[in-house]
Amino acid sequence: MDQRGQARLDEFLGALLFAGMILALYMAFLQAPREKTMGDLQRIFYFHVSSGITGLTAFAVNFAASVMYLVRRNRWWDHVALSSAELGVMFLSIVLVTGPIWAKPVWFVWWTWSPRLTSSLVLWMLYVAYLLVRNYVLDPDRRALVSAVFGIVAFVDAPIVWFSIRWWRDIHPAPMLETGGLSPSMRPAFYTCWAVFQILFIYLLRRRFFLEASRQEVEWLQRRADMVS
Amino acid sequence: MEKINPMNYLFAAYVAIWIILALYLYSIHSREQSLREEVRRLRDLLEKKSRQ
Amino acid sequence: MPAKVWTIFRKDLLIELRTKDSLNAMIFFGIVVLVIFNFALEAIRESIRAAVPGVLWVSFAFSGTLGLNRMFAAEKENSCLQGLLMVPVDRGIIYLGKMIAACVFMLLTEAVIFVFSLIFFNLTVWREIPYVVLVCLVGTLGFTAVGALLSAIAANTKMREVLLPLILFPVVLPILVNAVEATAIILNTVDYRQLKLPLTIMTVFTIVFATLAYLLFEYVLED
């Protein structure tokens, strides 16, 4: 796609995102029914779970891009890997901040070391570590290789983390999607929020990708300019 | 214990979401901005070179 | 292949036995951690036995990180890494040799730290020792399986000593959690059948990451 096509797509995605976000807020706050026991507090759920799923999607994208980089050795995949890891950390930060805010009035504690909370926190730390690794390797080729290796290690680690602490007492509500326990009247709102977060992810991923691509191009130009002068 | 209106928590959660999103967008934006400045600097440098 | 792994391992072992650079530091640091925990856990002196597994593994992990940090940093300092890379063997072989060396150093350290913990925390163990050895062996293999790979990654960055613990601990968390769990079962319960679950998870972890690191190591050391 040429540059104008990309800009067009960006505009389209931006407009879609804007409309979608308003719709998502409407669905989460007004359309969805009031939950019986938790009341309006349950409305945190729609954005909390949507960003959780989006964060996991981002880490899966990071894993795929890391593998592809090792196979193809194309910088394009490294940009995707970096962008998705950063976004995954951002979305998981939303999960980790909204979680305690929901937990305080419902469980009467901010934090509890239940498997789901602990694994989310560890997952967040794994990808912060990934970003740290990237930060401290100076050579671009080496950075891409090493971080691809770390990205693969982190993604393989995630399920093992989950299984190794799963026997701890879990008071987190079971994922409604696995158990099918989400009331049908809440489903439209949830699916809308989920879809809007996926659009948000794609929009931000593209933006972060082009930022990284131009950053590397500018770095290359700088080296050229240094040679000239 | 003082009973806090649960609506405050709902409000706080959504405010937090918007703050995190806004901070991230701002960080992307400022990085884009500094890149643009760098491109401008490089272009000026090249023009100066070519005039010499 | 085992002969080549043995050669790399023997090289590290000989260097270490001649200089004793990291081993001394590892052991001393482990004991320092024990002493610090002794102050930190002053409040629960009565039930200290319950906290010992956690204290032990924190001390093992910290001193192990110290050793792992030295492993590739020392190779870099004297430009030995280039020499090592010129050896006509698969990079995976280098990884296995390094990993086994790190594992042996850690196990030696753990043995000393364990003896000191018996004294400091007034524990009496006899029957438990074979089980503790088993858990230490599996746990340390898992720890160094990831540790040797990440140590090679960290050695190539500008902040190597600082970076390694930051990236290592989140990844080896399953090992630490299960090793603490298993050690607690050994020291504080009588039903050893419960050991099966943590030992299985640690074994799976070790096999998965040793294989993965064996395959990916060439990318980390590529020049």
**pLDDT at position C223:** 63
Does a structural domain hold residue A55?
yes
Nearby residues of C68 by Cβ (< 8 Å), 6 or more positions away:
C102, C144, C147, C148, C150, C151, C164, C168
- Could you list the residue range(s) of the whole structural domain that residue A98 is in? 44-228
Nearby residues of C139 by Cβ (< 8 Å), 6 or more positions away:
C57, C60, C175, C178, C179, C182, C202
Q: Which residue has the higher pLDDT, C45 or C56?
A: C56
Q: Which residue of C has its CA nearest to A135?
A: C157
Give yes or no for residue A110 having a pLDDT over 90.
no
**pLDDT at position A47:** 92
Judged by a CB distance cut-off of 8 A, whether residue B42 touches chain A is yes
pLDDT category at C145 given cuts 50, 70, 90 is: very high
Rounded CA-CA distance C8/C85 in Å is 12
Does a structural domain hold residue A31?
no
Whether there are 3 or more C-beta pairs closer than 8 Å between C and B is: no
* Yes or no, beta carbons of A146 and C170 under 8 Å apart: no
Does a structural domain hold residue A28?
no
Give yes or no for residue C153 having a pLDDT over 70.
yes
Number of domains in chain C: 1
Q: What is the mean pLDDT of residues A81-95?
A: 97
Q: Which residue of A has its CA nearest to B52?
A: A229
Does a structural domain hold residue A143?
yes
* Yes or no, beta carbons of A156 and C205 under 8 Å apart: no
pLDDT category at C77 given cuts 50, 70, 90 is: confident
Give yes or no for residue B1 having a pLDDT over 50.
no
* Yes or no, beta carbons of B13 and A101 under 8 Å apart: yes
Q: What is the mean pLDDT of residues A92-102?
A: 93
Q: Which residue has the higher pLDDT, C84 or A65?
A: A65
Contact indicator for A37, A206 with CB cutoff of 8 Å: no
Q: What is the mean pLDDT of residues C128-151?
A: 95
Does a structural domain hold residue A7?
no
Number of domains in chain A: 1
Average pLDDT, chain A: 88
Whether there are 3 or more C-beta pairs closer than 8 Å between A and B is: yes
Instruction: Please give the share of chain C, as a percent, with pLDDT higher than 90.
Output: 55
Give the minimum alpha-carbon distance from C174 to chain A in angstroms, rounded to a whole number.
Answer: 5
3-class DSSP string for chain C: CHHHHHHHHHHHHHHHHHHCHHHHHHHHHHHHHHHHHHHHCHHHHHHHHHHHHHHHHHHHHHHHHHHHHHHHHHHHHCCHHHHHHHCCCCHHHHHHHHHHHHHHHHHHHHHHHHHHHHHHCCCCCCCCHHHHHHHHHHHHHHHHHHHHHHHHHHHCCCCHHHHHHHHHHHHHHHHHHHHHHHHHHHHHCCCHHHHHHHHHHHHHHHHHHHHHHHHHHHHHHCC
Q: What is the mean pLDDT of residues A12-24?
A: 93
> C136: number of CA atoms within 13 Å, CB side?
25
CA C189 vs. chain centroid, Å, equals 25
Closest CA to C147 of C121, C123, C165, C126: C165
Q: Which residue of A has its CA nearest to C154?
A: A133
Give the minimum alpha-carbon distance from C106 to chain A in angstroms, rounded to a whole number.
Answer: 22
Nearby residues of B18 by Cβ (< 8 Å), 6 or more positions away:
none
Q: Which residues of C touch A125 (CB under 8 A)?
A: 170
Amino acid at B45: L
Burial of B52 (0-12, 13-18, 19+ CB in 10 A): exposed
Does a structural domain hold residue A37?
no
Closest Cβ opposite residue B20 in set A93, A208, A221: A93
**pLDDT at position A131:** 96
- Could you list the residue range(s) of the whole structural domain that residue C200 is in? 2-221
Most confidently predicted of A161-170, C136-145, C176-185: C136-145
**pLDDT at position C42:** 84
Q: Which residues of B touch A222 (CB under 8 A)?
A: 38, 42
List alpha helices for B1-52, DSSP H.
6-51
Contact indicator for C187, C124 with CB cutoff of 8 Å: no
Chains that touch A (3 or more CB pairs under 8 A): B, C
Asked whether the ipTM of the predicted complex exceeds the cut of 0.85, the reply is yes
Rounded CA-CA distance B2/B22 in Å is 32
Closest CA to A46 of A196, A199, A205, A202: A196
Q: Which residues of A touch B11 (CB under 8 A)?
A: none
Instruction: Please give the share of chain A, as a percent, with pLDDT higher than 90.
Output: 55
* Yes or no, beta carbons of A133 and C163 under 8 Å apart: yes
* Yes or no, beta carbons of A218 and B4 under 8 Å apart: no
Rounded CA-CA distance C71/C84 in Å is 13
